């Protein structure tokens, strides 16, 4: 029985499909919503530099480790560790990943719900206003409602539930292959518009002229957390996707390509937003609402603005879909492989679980706004606990596992495709990073950022 289900295990069918799915996981609300608002809240260019360092030296090696672990074992996040170390508790790292997937989805689907709502609001003309106060008001009235945001969140869950049920090749791969190029083209158009706004240069200066006095320890923790969130690492999504990747793929090359393209999309989203922030006299520190308040103002001053605005939110929804599919696939692969549930049953139970948890995030702007965990609303707590705690922690253990536990020769064999690839030098750098730099750097940033130690 077990043998049979393993023979039938699906996978990505082509190199392009792999890149589309992995990039589809990386690119999402993280680029279009989170990157701009976290950058805005932490002072701009200097923060971006710290973020890039975290991405290249910490996030990227963890991503590669996950791909290697996934492909070597052809298993879900928990099963992968069980296969490689049956007698040690490493599988708990995968278990924490499954939990992180639920927590991230809880607030992620809230925000995608807002995006869905905005597709309709921009089509109806509700957002076509020259007054920034008015776009702020439209947003506030949406998120402080009860039935309306819950309705959109449920709709989001139904849509991704349907795609995920279709499977890895026919669902995930097919959808992401179509969405990624579309998103890119639209971002180019919006960037051109945003850059031609009067006053665009102060937005660019904010994005590209670093002021290092803005860098605090908590900003560094935020940069690290963002790097993990962006690359979808630290919670097993990349182990799961890695398990669908063919033995012939060049994994280090793929990870670098994905990280570069993802960064490009984030910067393009920043260029879409910050010139307008300054042109219309907003504060870059607006936090999570930033996207929803600024983007309409970029469009309402341009010809065919309404159509472009609809397209923009549509594509944001599409980008978020690729990311949500990878988040969902973590528990789905776990339930189907470890408990032999059908894909259908796993999907339904996961979606309902996320819906219940996620409603607390959605309602934290209205009826649950006074319920605080560690001083944060449900929404902020899920966001903070995953990006700034669970993902970096997961990253430490994944790096330690690849660096110290799995075995030098085993890691090397997987990274060189059984010796076929000539990437010895790269391998040596990688090993030093996962053995020393990644775990030590994360531990220091985490402990100081959370105020546990002071330096």
Binding region for ligand PHE (CB under 6 A): 25-26, 28-31, 104, 229-230, 232, 235, 237, 323, 326-327
**Nearest CB to ligand PHE, comparing residues 232 and 364:** 232
The nearest distance, CB 431 to ligand PHE, in angstroms, is: 25
Contact at 8 Å (CB) between 53 and 310? no
Rounded Cα distance, 116 and 124, in Å: 13
**Nearest CB to ligand PHE, comparing residues 266 and 423:** 266
Rounded Cα distance, 235 and 105, in Å: 12
The nearest distance, CB 323 to ligand PHE, in angstroms, is: 4
**Nearest CB to ligand PHE, comparing residues 33 and 308:** 33
The nearest distance, CB 455 to ligand PHE, in angstroms, is: 29
The nearest distance, CB 284 to ligand PHE, in angstroms, is: 20
Map tokens 């170390």 to a residue: 85
User: What are the φ/ψ torsions at residue 283 (nearest 5 degrees)?
Assistant: -90, 130
**Nearest CB to ligand PHE, comparing residues 42 and 386:** 386
Of 454, 391, 68, 453, the C-alpha closest to 243 is 68
The nearest distance, CB 69 to ligand PHE, in angstroms, is: 15
**Nearest CB to ligand PHE, comparing residues 98 and 433:** 98
The nearest distance, CB 109 to ligand PHE, in angstroms, is: 12
Contact at 8 Å (CB) between 328 and 101? yes
The nearest distance, CB 201 to ligand PHE, in angstroms, is: 28
Rounded Cα distance, 290 and 283, in Å: 9
Closest residue to ligand PHE in the complex (CB): 30
**Nearest CB to ligand PHE, comparing residues 26 and 142:** 26
- What tokens does 1 get? 């029985």
Strand, coil or helix: 361: helix
Contact at 8 Å (CB) between 241 and 70? yes
Cα angle 61, 436, 31; round to 5: 30
How far is the CA of 404 from the CAs of 83, 186, 439, in angstroms? 16, 44, 11
Q: Please, is 18 exposed, middle or buried when counting C-beta atoms within 10 Å of its C-beta (0-12, 13-18, 19+)?
A: buried
Percent of the chain as helix, strand, coil, to the nearest 5: 75, 0, 20
**Nearest CB to ligand PHE, comparing residues 238 and 433:** 238
**Nearest CB to ligand PHE, comparing residues 219 and 323:** 323
The nearest distance, CB 97 to ligand PHE, in angstroms, is: 9
Map tokens 């990878």 to a residue: 326
């Amino acid at each position: 029985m077990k043998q049979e289900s393993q023979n039938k295990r699906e996978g990505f069918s082509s190199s392009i499909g792999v890149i589309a799915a992995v990039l589809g996981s990386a690119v999402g609300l993280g680029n279009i919503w989170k990157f701009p608002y976290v950058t805005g809240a932490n002072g701009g260019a200097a923060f971006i530099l710290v973020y890039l360092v975290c991405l290249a030296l910490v996030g990227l090696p963890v991503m590669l480790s996950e791909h290697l672990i996934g492909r070597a074992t052809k298993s879900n996040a928990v099963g992968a560790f069980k296969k490689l170390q049956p007698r040690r508790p490493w599988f708990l790292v995968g278990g924490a990943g499954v939990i992180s997937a639920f927590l991230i989805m809880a607030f992620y689907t809230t925000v995608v719900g807002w995006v869905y709502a905005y597709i309709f609001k921009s089509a109806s003309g509700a957002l076509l206003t020259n007054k920034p106060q008015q776009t702020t008001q439209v947003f506030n009235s949406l998120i402080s409602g009860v039935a309306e945001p819950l309705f959109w969140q449920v709709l989001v869950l139904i849509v991704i539930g349907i795609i995920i049920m279709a499977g890895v090749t026919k669902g995930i791969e097919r959808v992401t292959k179509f969405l990624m190029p579309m998103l890119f083209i639209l971002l180019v158009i919006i960037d051109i518009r945003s850059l031609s706004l009067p006053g665009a240069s102060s937005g660019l200066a904010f994005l590209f002229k670093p002021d290092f006095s803005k860098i605090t320890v908590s900003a560094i923790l935020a940069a690290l957390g963002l790097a993990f969130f962006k690359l979808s690492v630290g919670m097993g999504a990349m182990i799961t996707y890695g398990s669908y990747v063919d033995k012939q793929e060049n994994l280090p090359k793929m990870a670098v390509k994905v990280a570069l393209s993802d960064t490009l999309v984030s910067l393009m989203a920043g260029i879409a937003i910050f010139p307008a922030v300054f042109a219309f006299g907003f504060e870059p520190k607006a936090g999570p609402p930033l996207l929803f308040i600024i983007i309409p103002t970029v469009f309402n001053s341009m010809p065919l603005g309404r159509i472009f605005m609809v397209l923009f939110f549509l594509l944001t929804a599409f980008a978020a879909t690729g990311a949500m599919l990878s988040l969902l696939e973590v528990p789905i692969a776990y339930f189907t492989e470890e408990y032999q549930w059908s894909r259908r049953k796993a999907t339904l139970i996961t979606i309902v679980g996320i819906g219940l948890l996620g409603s607390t995030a959605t309602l934290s702007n209205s009826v649950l706004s006074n319920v605080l965990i560690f001083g944060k609303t449900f929404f902020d707590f899920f966001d903070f606990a995953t990006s700034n705690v669970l993902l970096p922690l997961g990253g430490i253990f994944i790096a330690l596992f690849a660096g110290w536990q799995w075995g030098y020769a085993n890691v090397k064999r997987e990274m060189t495709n059984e010796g076929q690839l000539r990437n010895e030098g790269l391998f040596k750098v990688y090993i030093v990073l996962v053995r020393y730099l990644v775990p030590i750097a994360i531990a220091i940033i985490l402990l100081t950022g959370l105020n546990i130690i002071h330096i």
